[in-house]
Amino acid sequence: MPKSPATALDQAEIDAFLESQTTGTLSFAKENDSYAIPVGYTYAPEETDVYFRLGYAPGSRKREYIEATDEATFVVAAETADGWKSVVARGRLEHRNTVEDLARHRTSSQSVSDADREFQIPFYHVFETPSEMVFALVRLKVHELTGVREAAGNR
Q: Encode pLDDT of 64-90 as tens digits.
A: 898 899 999 999 999 988 889 999 999
Q: How many residues does the chain have?
A: 155
Q: Given this model, what pLDDT does residue 152 score?
A: 66
* Cα(111)–Cα(130) distance, integer angstroms: 11
**Is 38 within the bounds of a domain?**
yes
**Is 89 within the bounds of a domain?**
yes
Top-confidence residue, 60 or 110: 60
**Is 111 within the bounds of a domain?**
yes
Environment class of 111 (CB within 10 Å of its CB; exposed 0-12, middle 13-18, buried 19+): middle
pLDDT in tens, 132-153: 667 778 899 999 999 999 876 5
| Domain span holding position 63 | 7-150
The enclosing domain of 83 has a CATH number of 2.30.110.10
**Is 155 within the bounds of a domain?**
no
**Is 63 within the bounds of a domain?**
yes
The count of structural domains within the chain is 1
Environment class of 32 (CB within 10 Å of its CB; exposed 0-12, middle 13-18, buried 19+): exposed
**Is 77 within the bounds of a domain?**
yes
**Is 2 within the bounds of a domain?**
no
Top-confidence residue, 28 or 119: 28
CB-based contacts of 89, cutoff 8 Å, min separation 6: 48, 50, 73, 74, 75, 140, 142, 144, 145
**Is 1 within the bounds of a domain?**
no
pLDDT in tens, 5-60: 789 999 999 999 999 999 999 999 988 899 999 998 999 899 899 998 887 777 77
